[in-house]
Structure 1
């Protein structure tokens, strides 16, 4: 009984730490990634503000971040993390590399979502005298919204996976719980509990995201 209560207590604490990491990385990552995705798309087509230099530089930076394995990114950003949050360990510290990774990840997904928008709608908006603000808010974001919801769902699930890796190097969360109890103490029951818990969470997020996207598509 005491053992079960201890595991539940540890799982609750780890879940709160994971929620903190994922929430910070998702909010900042999706907002900044959406902005970068817009820049990538707008500077890539003649209909709007094609700018090869800006597009190339932004794409190059994003590709560099995406090409670095997350575990290595954790180590590379230790100096930045220490300056931003004052420490290199814990869920808040892990949120920094998680956010950087999520920005680059979501930016490419957002760009792909905007690519799916019918360019005829953009041409029609331009013909009616619409400016860039109207096109972005009234055409691109509206038409790409279902796809952006799916992109957000994929991003959240990826961040959860990254957060588990962050736990192996002092980031806390469910990954840390699984390593400390399941690996170092050979308590495989704890490992199975954390795995099942993560599966349930990921499935819930995936189903919810898909339902929201389908609802927006119908509307």
Structure 2
């Protein structure tokens, strides 16, 4: 192992741990809330089984507003809300709040797009068999769109890692923050390059895993 990595080993491991915490919470928020929001957006669209112009327009507007915010400005804008929810606006726990919000908006749009790719015949077949809304969602839509949902989540996770590098602005830590503070600001270019390599390897592993899983479960 290079000497400089040995020198900062404890700090690097801590930074990796902080990144994993932030990304893990974001993934949880995306799956538990982003998936339902994206599904509602799809079902409430014009011509769908739960068509509701008001619900669709309201959710669509909220998602668009959140996704249009430059992430750094969103983090700063949410400081009062973060302090209300967490009790502090500084630290890794506080950093998970804006990350979770952007995760929900980001993944919900990808879920909607994946469901729009489901052939209309699938919905027609489900309705003709008398399936309930719950059965249509879990036994038809999600099953047919599962590959796209996994690929969407993979893309989202990579985006979450990218967003997490900004969280040093609120003391969130992480690999990106470590690279800036210990590599760039201290003129340790070699250390900064090693951090970039770690990020690249991490992203490649996630992309390979997600693509492989999507390919295996795609039975179309």
Fold-level similarity (TM above 0.5):
yes
Q: Which residue of 1 aligns with 2:192?
A: 191
**Comparing 7-16 with 107-116, which one deviates more in the overlay?**
7-16
Root-mean-square deviation (Å):
1.4
Instruction: Name the CA distance, whole Å, in 2 between partners of 1:124 and 1:83.
Output: 47
Unaligned residue ranges in structure 2 (runs of 5+): none
- Structure 2 equivalent of residue 17 of structure 1: 18
SS in 1 for 2:6: helix
Structure 2 CA distance, aligned partners of 1:105 and 1:189? 34
Poorly superposed stretches of 4+, deviation over 4 Å: none
**Equivalent-residue separation in structure 2 for 1:110 and 1:18 (angstroms):** 24
1:5 deviates by 2.4
The answer as to whether partners of 2:42 and 2:48 remain within 8 angstroms in 1 is no
- The 8 Å contact of residues 47 and 123 in structure 1, kept in 2 or not, is answered as no
- 1:1-219 pair list within 5 angstroms: 3-218=4-219
- DSSP 3-state at the match of 2:88: coil
Distance 2:118 2:185 in 1: 50
- Sort the Cα spacing of 1:165 and 1:95 in 2 relative to 1 into closer, same or farther, 3 A: same
1:45 positional shift: 3.9
Deviation readout 1:104-124 (Å, 9 max, x if unpaired): 000100000000111111111
Deviations 1:26-47 (A, max 9, x none): 1112221111101100001424
SS of the equivalent of 2:166 reads helix
Contact 1:164/1:176 (CA < 8 Å) preserved in 2? yes
Query: Which sits farther off after the overlay, 153-162 or 166-175?
Result: 166-175
Q: Is the 8 A contact 2:154 2:207 kept in 1?
A: yes
Does 162-171 or 7-16 show the bigger shift? 162-171
Native 8 Å contact 1:21 1:94 kept in 2:
yes
Contact 2:89-2:170 within 8 A present in 1 as well? no
Offset of residue 10 of structure 1: 1.2
- TM-score, with structure 1 as normaliser: 0.96
How many angstroms apart in 2 are the aligned matches of 1:26 and 1:36?
A: 14
Distance 1:2 1:190, change over 3 A: closer
Give the superposition deviation at 1:149.
0.1
Unpaired runs of 5+ residues, structure 1, are: none
